[in-house]
Amino acid sequence: MRQGPKGDVSDDERRAQVRGRYASIATTGQLSVLPRASSCCAEGAGSSCCGDSTASLELGYSAEQLAGLPDGANLGLGCGNPTAIAALTPGQAVLDLGSGGGIDCFLAAKKVGPRGSVVGVDMTPEMLSKARENARKGGYKNVEFRLGEIEHLPAGDGSVDVVISNCVINLAPEKGQVYREAFRVLRPGGRLAVSDVVATRPVTAEERADPSLWSSCSSGALEVKEVKRLLKRAGFVEVRVAVKAPDTPPESLKGQAPLGVASADIRATKPSKRSE
């Protein structure tokens, strides 16, 4: 399925570029390649930005949430706080797409409690190692991290209640496949609650082909109408995309603003059996 021009970059090449970027962040705390990168952890930002609490407060995390995290869990890579819109309750099973250092998994784990469970999926082995070490340090018994691509989730059909993600789906070459996989793993009546970036203007083929712009959560963004179309095609109902004011982006997303990229809260529901 065509989702916009990709230039001459193959899907595998794009995944390799993204994997390399986030492996660098996981191991060094900052980015040493791709000089046009514009996210919080871009070259020159250094560790004062990656994991900076002020930037995270701008994205919707509370000081109390941040204070309870293991050191190294907050890498400052998101564009929102999906656990704030997911309405999680005790006992639920949660799946995080692109879990990074584990911040949203750990916050979700506190909400679902010991009777609930949280699985984080990430395609970067260095990030998985970091997240697993963070889980060990924090004593999280109801969280696990699995290696995998979000287009091919390592989870069973109808096995989770809520799917969350934070500024990751835009990085996937096949976003429609991501939404179909999220639909597959959700139980009937389950919900998708995602923070991601969206395009407020058409993205050019040249911008999409730029590995720096794509892997820094910029040119992989889709317009709102396309996001809604892909979610509905995957089978979701009650699709809502709330774009945050693009003229006042948080510090971590100011580099994306000239490209017309803004953060958004995306919600959708898998129909219950009664409504199918």
- What CATH number does residue 116 fall under? 3.40.50.150
Is residue 104 a contact partner of residue 135, using CB atoms and an 8 Å limit?
A: no
Residue 148 lies in a domain: yes
Residue 2 lies in a domain: no
Residue 5 lies in a domain: no
Q: How many CB atoms lie within 10 A of CB 44?
A: 9
Residue 59 lies in a domain: yes
Residue 1 lies in a domain: no
Domain with 57 in it: 11-275
Is residue 7 a contact partner of residue 206, using CB atoms and an 8 Å limit?
A: yes
Residue 6 lies in a domain: no
Residue 263 lies in a domain: yes
Q: Which pLDDT value is given to residue 230?
A: 98
- Over its length of 276 residues, how does the chain's per-residue pLDDT go in tens digits? 334 444 567 888 889 889 988 898 888 865 443 334 344 443 333 333 344 567 788 778 888 888 889 888 888 888 999 999 999 999 999 999 999 999 999 999 999 999 999 999 999 999 999 999 999 999 999 999 999 999 999 999 999 999 999 999 999 999 999 999 999 999 999 999 999 999 999 988 998 888 888 888 888 999 999 999 999 999 999 999 999 876 666 666 666 777 888 999 999 999 997 544
> Phi and psi dihedrals of 119, rounded to 5?
-120, 125
Q: Which pLDDT value is given to residue 218?
A: 86
Residue 4 lies in a domain: no
Q: Which pLDDT value is given to residue 242?
A: 96
- Residue 90, SS3 per DSSP: coil
* Sheet-wide strand order for 160-166: 143-147, 117-122, 93-97, 160-166, 186-199, 261-269, 237-243
Q: Which pLDDT value is given to residue 254?
A: 66
Cα angle value 81/84/87 (rounded, 5°): 140
Count how many domains the chain has: 1
Say if residue 148 is exposed, middle or buried (CB neighbours under 10 Å; 0-12, 13-18, 19+). middle
Q: Which pLDDT value is given to residue 72?
A: 84
